[in-house]
Structure 1
């Protein structure tokens, strides 16, 4: 076996990010949409209020499509992980992988909060309140905290991976 074949590439950041986006979306959809019922995907769109049967049907469909999208992110994460494993890349450390997942979840929250809550205004974290801005800002702050914590944790894991002995240099 050549020294080039023995040299294994470090793990990619992509699977952790994809898992984070997918799981973050599932937490949002399952906890905020279904369990707490604070909002639905289009609950703040005129004519789509979940307080009417037609509005609830529209929101249930939109929520379902949102869950399909989060499921696709998890499927993509699994396929990328399998592909990289089969290519012989190094396995990530726990801190590298969990850090990537937290970073992905945080990026999901930031994108969701900025696009859906602020720019499009299709819903807010708490559509059942008269002034939901503080909840929206809290959601963004939580996303930023997750992203920063994930970035730091993943960097720590990357340093540990970089410190592993390389068989190609032996």
Structure 2
């Protein structure tokens, strides 16, 4: 985040960041847990434990998305959202990247709760690619938030 942001841009960034955390979490759960069925939050012989861990995960990322949306709405109500739209969109990317980095480092590497594609001969490479995607998302978002992005005027929001 640019340290010279206005209050309105900091509000955009914080709301977008929380939304990004939730959105990437939801994408992860939908793509890797449900559609591809590569893993669950907790790898366990009892499928009920796996389903419950996934359900708790989905509840948490849904709460993050709701919290981000509420933050955005409240700041809009207080007319504290004028600023560069690139800050908002970039912050979603930063939040998503931070989600991938935190989830990958903590769950895949430190706690070994699961891997992106457990049992695959290239399991480590999948995990490293997941971390790399987090770095790329965060970097792209950071660059979007840099000075020179598009501005949102009050008239454009009306």
In structure 2, the CA distance between the partners of 1:92 and 1:57, relative to structure 1 (3 Å rule), is farther
Moved more, 93-102 or 57-66: 93-102
State the match for 2:26 in structure 1.
26
* Cα distance, 1:94 vs structure 2: 3.3
State the match for 2:156 in structure 1.
none
Matched, 1:106 2:97: yes
Write out per-residue CA displacement over residues 63-82 of structure 1, whole angstroms, 9 at most, x where no aligned residue.
01000000110111011111
Normalised to the residue count of structure 2, the TM-score between the two structures is 0.85
Report matched runs for 1:14-93 at 5 Å.
14-43=14-43, 48-49=44-45, 55-93=46-84
Report matched runs for 1:121-136 at 5 Å.
121-136=112-127
Q: CA RMSD in A?
A: 2.0
Task: Decide whether the 8 Å contact of 2:40 with 2:54 is kept in 1.
Answer: yes
In structure 2, the CA distance between the partners of 1:160 and 1:130, relative to structure 1 (3 Å rule), is closer
| Alpha-carbon distance in 1 for matches of 2:52, 2:83 | 37
Long gaps (5+) in structure 2: 1-5, 154-158
| Alpha-carbon distance in 2 for matches of 1:19, 1:92 | 18
| Alpha-carbon distance in 2 for matches of 1:94, 1:151 | 13
Long gaps (5+) in structure 1: 1-7, 50-54, 165-170
* Cα distance, 1:92 vs structure 2: 4.7
State the match for 2:139 in structure 1.
148
